[in-house]
Amino acid sequence: MILDRYFARRFLQSFLIIGAIFLTLIILIDLIEQVRRFDDADLTFGQLIQLTLLNTPAAISEMLPLLMILSTIALFVGLARSSELVVTRAIGRSGIRALLAPVFLALVIGGLAVVLLNPIAAATSEEFQRLSESYRSDSRSTLSISREGLWLRQGSANGQSVIHARAVTNEEMLVLRNVTITTFSGDGTPVEQIVADRAQLEPGQWVLKRAKTWSLVDGEVNPEATATSYKTLDIPTTLTRERILDRLGQKKSVSIYDLPQLIEDLREAGFSTKQYEVWLQTQLARPLFLVSMVLIGAAFTMRHVRFGGTGIAVLTAVLLGFAIYFIRNFAQILGENGQLPIFVAAWAPPFAAILLSMGLLLHAEDG
């Protein structure tokens, strides 16, 4: 038990030191990127720092597998150089048993990443997106999905318009049905309301079918008296299909606690939910994936330095870790496209990586 605590402390020290180094690099690199992106926006240094810090949790979340495998390599290379692994085996404890503490810490860190880091990264990513759009342009747009359907907000120099649709009948063409559009002036006063059976987004405009408009300006006692019906009505917009679908596809800005409800709302609104379902399962499988990174790092570094080839072993471990990471992302894409079952796309890569690394460890232990 004392030896396990010692290994756990060494592993945690390596993880914190490497994490601090990467955190510093991420902040510096992202700050330079924000300066480049908003070069013509005349932002203050404080605003650039704010954007950088908002983007940092998501970057750290993405780099956790790399931090985990590097921490494992640092731990066992250090133990091998000091001959502590030799002493551990000499007292009758196998190398597999020495992995108990790092694996346990990997599970804890993975659990914290799911429970705490994921919601924090989602909230900061959403705020980063909101601030970025506000700094780039005065005509901001917002998208929201709820039980009542799809909500959109589009901005212009004259004010804002709120678009509500009960459902989406064609996601590819972005055809909405049972549409209500309320237009507001610059001071927030409603000036017009439009109801249409369907709306289709075309370049630079919404094309409404069987639409009816009401004027809501002050002085109109009976808006119905001035209501006008149209077979087809074109409404200008700054929204694009790609922009709307990109906003829908920003699953990383949704907390894991909100994903089940969002999946249900998207399904009721007529949108595909596969990418969100795969993302949810991938996040739940994250602790196992971090464990696989620990085992892969250990499989190539739990050897005495007198055997030589430490540099090659470290490089092989890192490259194999990147390969597993790429395979997991590739499986995730296949799952989102319906080529793989959702459960297989999310859980098969970490299970396969654990079995592979355990096979390498058992082979090494048998000599």
CA distance 17 to 23: 10
CA distance 60 to 66: 10
Residues 6+ apart with CB under 8 A from 230: 208, 210, 211, 212, 213
CA distance 215 to 226: 7
Residue 149 confidence (pLDDT): 74
Residue 307 confidence (pLDDT): 61
Q: Which parts of the chain are beta strand (E)?
A: 142-146, 149-156, 159-170, 175-185, 190-202, 205-215, 228-236
Domains of the chain listed by start with CATH number = 2-136+269-366 (no CATH), 142-238 (2.60.450.10)
CA distance 99 to 293: 12
Give the SS3 label for residue 76: helix
CA distance 10 to 76: 10
CA distance 235 to 206: 5
E strand or H helix at 299: helix 286-301
Cα three-residue angle 355-22-55, rounded to 5 degrees: 100
> pLDDT tens, position by position, for the chain (367 residues)?
778 788 889 999 999 999 999 999 999 999 999 888 888 777 888 888 999 999 999 999 999 999 999 999 998 888 877 777 767 777 766 667 778 889 999 999 999 999 999 999 988 988 887 787 777 654 455 666 766 778 888 776 667 888 888 877 766 667 888 888 888 887 778 888 889 998 888 888 889 999 988 887 765 567 677 788 888 988 888 777 767 766 665 677 788 888 888 888 777 766 678 888 999 999 999 999 999 999 999 888 876 666 667 788 889 889 999 999 999 999 999 998 888 999 999 999 999 999 999 888 887 766 5
Cα three-residue angle 319-321-326, rounded to 5 degrees: 95
E strand or H helix at 288: helix 286-301
Strands of 175-185's sheet in order across: 142-146, 149-156, 159-170, 175-185, 190-202, 205-215, 228-236
> Is the pTM here over 0.75, yes or no?
yes
Residue 192 confidence (pLDDT): 85
CA distance 12 to 10: 5
| Dihedral over Cα of 241, 246, 247, 251: its sign | positive
